Amino acid sequence: MNGKQFVEKLIKDNQALFAASQMNVEQYFNDKPEEIVDHFIGRMVNERMNMVEISRQVANAPANADPVELQLLAKQAQDEAKHYKMVKDVIEHITGEELDVEKAIERERMLNTAKGASLLEKYGAQTDEAALAAYQLVAEGRAEAVWNQMAETINDDFISTRYAKIAKDEGFHSTIGARKLAKLASTPEVQEKVSALVDKLRKDLFEISCKNTVEAKGSRELVNAAYGW
């Protein structure tokens, strides 16, 4: 199959992970509303980490990098910065107090909570174009599903309208990865390498979902059946 067909198959196969993550999120917010602020602090820190990492990709891009790809990455970095602020605004909307971001980041570091953005380093996305594209395709696609689920589940217009906007942006970020990966994964060798990475990435993202929310009934069975884990 060509690169475009390969990416289309990855997108189709991602749906089980996305659905399982949505199941976890829905049950979490229905069962544990008292944890909402702590959860959003974690999401805020993750958006900030994404902002930093994507900005680093732009700053370290080679001189002959595709100008269109640089433009798309710069747009994503700006979006991540916007998301960071939007989630901060949501937290302050709930608490009625200004958030000490430095303290919140240090707290998250001490708690060592699960962060999807940490996988950028784990899979060498800072130096491997295919790894970065795969991360964007899978992780940002899952983020779109999760933010949409939060927007639907949370009964607060201030929060839901902002999280629906974040979801839309995450979907766009996933298409950036799809565009790049369709170019890179043009040979069986690269496709085999990417497929192995994506399988590990899906597994890590599902475990992060369970740690950050709950393991909803049937969610693990869904991914196990889909991916043969």
Q: For position 162, which CATH number holds?
A: 1.20.910.10
Q: How many domains does the chain have?
A: 1
Give me the mean pLDDT over the 9-37 stretch. Answer: 96
Inside any domain, residue 7: yes
Instruction: Provide the pLDDT confidence category of residue 120 given band limits of 50, 70 and 90.
Output: confident
Inside any domain, residue 229: no
Which residues are CB-neighbours of 186 under 8 A, at least 6 positions away? 2, 3
What are 91's two structure tokens? 């937290």
Q: How far apart are the first and last CA of the chain?
A: 25
Question: Model confidence over 176-223: pLDDT tens digits?
Answer: 999 999 999 999 999 999 999 999 999 999 999 999 999 999 999 999
Inside any domain, residue 107: yes
Instruction: Say which range, 84-98, 103-117, 213-227, has the weakest mean pLDDT.
Output: 103-117
pLDDT at 111: 80
What 3-state class would DSSP assign to 77? helix
Q: What is the pTM of this model?
A: 0.89
pLDDT at 38: 92
Average model confidence (pLDDT) across the chain: 94
Instruction: Provide the pLDDT confidence category of residue 167 given band limits of 50, 70 and 90.
Output: very high
Question: Model confidence over 106-116: pLDDT tens digits?
Answer: 988 888 776 77
Where in the sequence is the domain holding 191, given as residue range(s)? Answer: 3-224
Tell me the C-alpha distance between 89 and 81, whole Å: 13
How large is the angle between the packed helices 36-59 and 101-111, nearest 10 degrees? Answer: 100
Give me the mean pLDDT over the 27-43 stretch. Answer: 93
Does the pLDDT at position 122 exceed 90? no
What are 229's two structure tokens? 């884990």
What are 202's two structure tokens? 């899906």
Q: How far is CA 2 from CA 107, 183, 184, 219, in A?
A: 46, 9, 10, 32
Tell me the C-alpha distance between 221 and 229, whole Å: 9
Tell me the C-alpha distance between 53 and 135, whole Å: 12
